[in-house]
Amino acid sequence: MPEATEIVDVVVGVKGPTSNISLFRNQQKKFDAEQLFKGDKAYVGGLNISTPHKKPKNGELTAEQKAENKVFSSNRIFVEHIIRVIKIFRVASERFRLHPNTYEQVIFTVCGLVRLRIGSLILPVLS
Protein backbone atom coordinates (compact mmCIF):
# COMPACT_ATOMS: atom_id res chain seq x y z
CA MET A 1 0.00 0.00 0.00
CA PRO A 2 1.54 3.35 -0.99
CA GLU A 3 2.09 6.01 1.62
CA ALA A 4 2.18 9.78 1.28
CA THR A 5 5.90 10.16 1.78
CA GLU A 6 6.83 12.36 -1.17
CA ILE A 7 5.54 14.81 -3.72
CA VAL A 8 6.88 13.32 -6.95
CA ASP A 9 6.02 16.05 -9.43
CA VAL A 10 4.61 19.56 -9.33
CA VAL A 11 2.95 21.05 -12.37
CA VAL A 12 2.76 24.81 -12.20
CA GLY A 13 -0.44 25.72 -13.99
CA VAL A 14 -0.55 27.82 -17.10
CA LYS A 15 -2.70 30.85 -17.69
CA GLY A 16 -6.10 30.06 -19.11
CA PRO A 17 -8.11 26.85 -19.15
CA THR A 18 -6.06 23.67 -19.64
CA SER A 19 -7.41 20.19 -19.03
CA ASN A 20 -5.77 17.86 -16.52
CA ILE A 21 -5.12 15.24 -19.20
CA SER A 22 -3.25 17.81 -21.35
CA LEU A 23 -1.02 18.80 -18.42
CA PHE A 24 -0.45 15.11 -17.68
CA ARG A 25 0.55 14.31 -21.26
CA ASN A 26 3.12 17.12 -21.23
CA GLN A 27 4.59 15.97 -17.89
CA GLN A 28 4.57 12.28 -18.79
CA LYS A 29 7.56 12.85 -21.09
CA LYS A 30 9.74 13.37 -17.99
CA PHE A 31 9.09 9.83 -16.74
CA ASP A 32 10.13 6.41 -18.00
CA ALA A 33 7.91 5.12 -20.83
CA GLU A 34 6.96 2.09 -18.70
CA GLN A 35 6.01 4.19 -15.62
CA LEU A 36 2.44 3.47 -14.49
CA PHE A 37 0.15 6.14 -13.07
CA LYS A 38 -3.19 6.27 -11.28
CA GLY A 39 -5.57 9.13 -11.86
CA ASP A 40 -9.13 10.19 -11.33
CA LYS A 41 -11.82 10.30 -14.03
CA ALA A 42 -10.26 13.44 -15.56
CA TYR A 43 -7.40 11.28 -16.88
CA VAL A 44 -9.41 8.75 -18.89
CA GLY A 45 -7.64 8.03 -22.17
CA GLY A 46 -4.08 8.70 -21.01
CA LEU A 47 -1.29 6.23 -21.75
CA ASN A 48 -0.07 4.08 -18.84
CA ILE A 49 -2.68 5.53 -16.52
CA SER A 50 -5.38 3.56 -14.78
CA THR A 51 -8.59 5.33 -13.87
CA PRO A 52 -11.84 4.33 -12.16
CA HIS A 53 -14.77 3.15 -14.24
CA LYS A 54 -17.02 5.96 -15.46
CA LYS A 55 -20.75 5.55 -15.30
CA PRO A 56 -22.05 5.18 -18.86
CA LYS A 57 -24.46 7.83 -20.10
CA ASN A 58 -28.00 6.83 -19.12
CA GLY A 59 -26.62 3.69 -17.50
CA GLU A 60 -25.27 2.30 -14.26
CA LEU A 61 -22.06 0.63 -13.18
CA THR A 62 -22.18 -3.06 -12.38
CA ALA A 63 -21.60 -4.22 -8.81
CA GLU A 64 -18.17 -5.51 -9.88
CA GLN A 65 -17.20 -2.13 -11.38
CA LYS A 66 -18.34 -0.35 -8.21
CA ALA A 67 -16.24 -2.72 -6.11
CA GLU A 68 -13.21 -2.13 -8.38
CA ASN A 69 -13.74 1.65 -8.06
CA LYS A 70 -13.83 1.34 -4.28
CA VAL A 71 -10.52 -0.57 -4.20
CA PHE A 72 -9.02 1.89 -6.69
CA SER A 73 -9.99 4.93 -4.61
CA SER A 74 -8.77 3.36 -1.38
CA ASN A 75 -5.35 2.88 -3.02
CA ARG A 76 -5.31 6.46 -4.33
CA ILE A 77 -6.78 8.37 -1.39
CA PHE A 78 -3.36 9.48 -0.11
CA VAL A 79 -2.95 11.58 -3.29
CA GLU A 80 -6.20 13.39 -2.59
CA HIS A 81 -5.07 14.02 0.99
CA ILE A 82 -1.83 15.64 -0.20
CA ILE A 83 -3.79 17.80 -2.66
CA ARG A 84 -6.04 18.86 0.23
CA VAL A 85 -3.03 19.82 2.36
CA ILE A 86 -1.63 21.91 -0.50
CA LYS A 87 -4.99 23.60 -1.05
CA ILE A 88 -5.09 24.61 2.63
CA PHE A 89 -2.60 27.31 1.63
CA ARG A 90 -5.26 28.58 -0.83
CA VAL A 91 -2.68 29.59 -3.44
CA ALA A 92 -3.49 26.44 -5.44
CA SER A 93 -7.25 26.68 -5.05
CA GLU A 94 -8.01 30.35 -5.63
CA ARG A 95 -7.17 33.04 -8.15
CA PHE A 96 -3.55 34.15 -7.77
CA ARG A 97 -3.54 37.94 -7.45
CA LEU A 98 0.18 38.71 -7.40
CA HIS A 99 2.48 39.12 -10.40
CA PRO A 100 2.30 35.92 -12.52
CA ASN A 101 6.09 35.46 -12.43
CA THR A 102 5.97 34.89 -8.66
CA TYR A 103 3.39 32.08 -8.82
CA GLU A 104 5.95 29.36 -9.54
CA GLN A 105 8.11 30.43 -6.57
CA VAL A 106 5.07 30.54 -4.27
CA ILE A 107 3.69 27.14 -5.31
CA PHE A 108 7.11 25.49 -4.97
CA THR A 109 7.47 27.06 -1.51
CA VAL A 110 4.04 25.71 -0.52
CA CYS A 111 4.99 22.23 -1.77
CA GLY A 112 8.23 22.47 0.24
CA LEU A 113 6.26 23.35 3.36
CA VAL A 114 3.91 20.42 2.73
CA ARG A 115 6.91 18.10 2.28
CA LEU A 116 8.24 19.35 5.62
CA ARG A 117 4.85 18.75 7.24
CA ILE A 118 4.47 15.18 5.97
CA GLY A 119 8.04 14.36 6.96
CA SER A 120 9.58 13.81 3.52
CA LEU A 121 11.78 16.89 3.83
CA ILE A 122 14.18 16.76 6.72
CA LEU A 123 16.10 19.93 7.45
CA PRO A 124 19.68 19.66 8.75
CA VAL A 125 20.27 20.62 12.34
CA LEU A 126 22.78 23.45 12.57
CA SER A 127 24.99 23.43 15.63
The mean pLDDT of the chain is 81
Rounded Cα gap, residues 63 and 78, in angstroms: 24
The 10s digit of each residue's pLDDT in 82-99 is 888 888 888 777 777 788
Residue 26: count other Cβ atoms within 10 Å of its Cβ. Answer: 12
pTM strictly above 0.85: no
d(CA 91, CA 99): 13
Q: Where are the alpha helices (DSSP H) in 1-127?
A: 20-28, 63-87, 103-118
Residue 3 has pLDDT above 70, yes or no: no
Is the pLDDT assigned to residue 10 strictly greater than 80? Answer: no
